[in-house]
């Protein structure tokens, strides 16, 4: 991006050239220095009887032809066998004291977040304190996944991770992340009026672009929702909170269906599917799309069962014809479509101001059958984004209210399932149970839903999969 910006200015181009020359000179000097060091190291090692390779000891094959790719990327090798790759360094965490604590942002379920300023650069970051509970199988696997995922991803629409720092004791660990002013949920509540179509398109495109990137890097987010989408004052969207993210494989391996915050949870997860993939993120994006258009959550269920009911009432009840494999889902046989159910209204009628291309995209995101759901890369090519009104450039968004003003309006929204977050429940008790071992727990929670016996969605006395019996009064 930098290079593109610079090329607009001719004289800066020349500057770059000059800088490049200087850099090369520096590199040469550095290389020389490193070689000297390597020689010294070799000398020391040979004194202590530790063998080290030299050119003459290598297999007797001449060295003229050079491999290209790695070398071009800046790979350096000293002559003495201690190798200087373009590899990252092995290094330790810095201290949290490198940051000046500014103010407290929030204390969520999963840790404390505060604003901090880098004492050297003056840049402001968000510091999130990690909870390290020694009684739950050490450092939480979910945090390891989150850190690893964030370290692997570099995308303008994914929140950046700078480093991890430590406090005075070992259990004080902070993730240093890019500071972003708003989250989408809080922002939507403070603006009170839905976004313009052109603005929705910009937000959706950024969301889809980041999602496409994640999915192509074998990562499923598993908790996309408006409160996990940060948005800067310059209208740049950043996906955050990778606490539930996981790498997936093809073919898929079983994982826990207890992921994604209820309102954004795909129907296959609600029905207990354990073999699922990137489609669950696409469902969440469909829900977010609907929310952006109306400024109201699309399906605000109060329990798992209530959530399924809301979805099916809205989109129609599936069967094995409309959704192949539906009957094989663990909880599908317990779904009892109400006899006098009204024929669901068309999507169009819910969104009178949306163009037909917009309705088409929404309907493709909200496909009950995950195999029919649109993928992120397909969605990005959807005509909705090229027809008028065109997506509004981020810099043309009208200024957002300041974070403090808007935070006062924030209402509570449900969180992601605690079990998957490694807090309470079976998965957490050991922290290490495989994702596929928590079915019993999932069932227990599903059944404990307060609205269960009122919806009448499940057949009376129906037999469940995991040896439990449903009893409704």
Does 313 bind other proteins (CB under 8 A)? Our answer is no
> 279 with 373: CB under 8 angstroms?
yes
Does 251 bind other proteins (CB under 8 A)? Our answer is no
Minimal distance, residue 354 CB to other proteins, in Å: 35
Does 122 bind other proteins (CB under 8 A)? Our answer is no
Minimal distance, residue 54 CB to other proteins, in Å: 9
Q: Which two tokens stand for residue 64?
A: 């003229």
> 445 with 258: CB under 8 angstroms?
yes
What part of residues 23-52 is at the interface with other proteins (CB under 8 A)?
A: 34, 37-38, 40-41, 44-45, 48-52
Does 444 bind other proteins (CB under 8 A)? Our answer is no
Does 469 bind other proteins (CB under 8 A)? Our answer is no
Does 55 bind other proteins (CB under 8 A)? Our answer is yes
Minimal distance, residue 168 CB to other proteins, in Å: 12
The rounded distance, in Å, linking the Cα atoms of 148 and 132 is 16
**For helices 184-191 and 279-294, angle between their N-to-C axes, nearest 10 degrees:** 20
> 225 with 284: CB under 8 angstroms?
yes
Among 309, 307, 316, smallest CA distance to 344 is for: 316
What part of residues 221-240 is at the interface with other proteins (CB under 8 A)?
A: none
In the bound state with other proteins, the residue whose beta carbon lies nearer, of 92 and 469, is: 92
> 454 with 302: CB under 8 angstroms?
no
Strand partners of residue 164: 175
Per-residue mark of binding to other proteins, 132-151 (x: CB under 8 A): x-xx-xxx-x--x--xx--x
Among 416, 454, 463, 440, smallest CA distance to 306 is for: 454
Does 90 bind other proteins (CB under 8 A)? Our answer is yes
Q: Which of 73, 349, 412, 469 binds other proteins (CB under 8 A)?
A: 73
- Catalytically active residues are 223
The rounded distance, in Å, linking the Cα atoms of 99 and 164 is 12
Does 19 bind other proteins (CB under 8 A)? Our answer is no
Among 165, 435, 227, 442, smallest CA distance to 329 is for: 442
Among 18, 39, 36, smallest CA distance to 28 is for: 36
Q: Is 320 exposed, middle or buried (0-12, 13-18, 19+ CB in 10 A)?
A: exposed
What part of residues 164-223 is at the interface with other proteins (CB under 8 A)?
A: 164, 166, 170-171, 173, 178
Site residues for other proteins per CB under 8 A: 34, 37-38, 40-41, 44-45, 48-53, 55, 57-59, 61, 63, 65-71, 73, 77-78, 81-93, 132, 134-135, 137-139, 141, 144, 147-148, 151-154, 160, 162-164, 166, 170-171, 173, 178, 430, 432-434
């Amino acid at each position: 991006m930098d290079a593109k910006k610079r090329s607009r200015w001719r004289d800066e181009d020349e500057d770059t050239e000059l800088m490049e020359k200087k850099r090369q000179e520096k590199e040469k000097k550095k290389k020389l220095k490193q070689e000297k060091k390597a020689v010294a190291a070799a000398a020391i090692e040979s004194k202590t009887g530790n063998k080290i390779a030299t050119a003459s000891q290598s297999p007797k094959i001449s060295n003229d032809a050079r491999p290209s790719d790695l070398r071009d990327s800046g790979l350096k090798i000293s002559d003495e066998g201690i190798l200087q790759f373009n590899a990252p360094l092995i290094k330790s965490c810095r201290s949290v004291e490198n940051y000046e604590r500014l103010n407290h942002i929030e204390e969520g379920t999963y840790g404390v977040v505060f604003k901090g300023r880098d004492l050297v650069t003056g840049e402001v970051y968000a510091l999130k304190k990690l909870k390290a509970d020694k009684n739950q199988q050490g450092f939480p696997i979910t945090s390891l996944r989150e850190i690893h995922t964030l370290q692997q991803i570099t995308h303008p629409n994914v929140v950046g991770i700078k480093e991890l720092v430590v406090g005075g004791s070992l259990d004080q660990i902070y993730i240093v992340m890019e500071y972003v002013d708003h989250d989408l949920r809080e922002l939507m509540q403070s603006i009170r009026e839905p976004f313009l179509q052109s603005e929705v398109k910009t937000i959706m495109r950024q969301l889809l672009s980041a999602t496409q990137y994640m999915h192509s890097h074998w990562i499923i987010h598993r908790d996309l929702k408006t409160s996990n989408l940060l948005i800067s004052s310059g209208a740049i969207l950043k996906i955050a909170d990778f606490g539930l993210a996981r790498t997936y494989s093809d073919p898929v391996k079983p994982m826990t269906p207890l992921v994604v915050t209820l309102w954004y949870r795909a129907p296959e997860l609600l029905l207990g599917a354990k073999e699922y993939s990137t489609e669950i993120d696409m469902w969440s994006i469909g829900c977010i799309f609907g929310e952006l258009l109306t400024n109201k959550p699309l399906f605000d269920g109060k329990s798992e069962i209530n959530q399924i009911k809301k979805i099916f009432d809205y989109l129609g009840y599936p069967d094995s014809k409309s959704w192949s494999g539906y009957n094989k889902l663990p909880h599908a046989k317990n779904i009892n479509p109400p006899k006098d159910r009204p024929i669901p209204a068309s999507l169009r009628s819910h969104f009178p101001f949306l163009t037909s291309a917009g309705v088409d995209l929404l309907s493709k995101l909200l496909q009950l059958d995950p195999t029919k759901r649109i993928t992120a890369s397909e969605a990005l090519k959807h005509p909705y984004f090229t027809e008028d009104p065109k997506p509004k450039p981020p810099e043309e968004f009208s200024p957002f209210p300041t974070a403090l003003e808007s935070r006062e309006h924030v209402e509570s929204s449900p969180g992601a399932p605690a079990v998957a977050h490694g807090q309470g429940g079976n998965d957490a008790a050991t922290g290490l149970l495989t994702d596929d071992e928590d079915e019993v727990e999932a069932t227990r929670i599903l059944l404990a839903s307060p609205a269960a016996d009122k919806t009448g969605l499940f057949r009376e006395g129906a037999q469940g999969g995991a040896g439990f019996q449903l009893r409704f009064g």
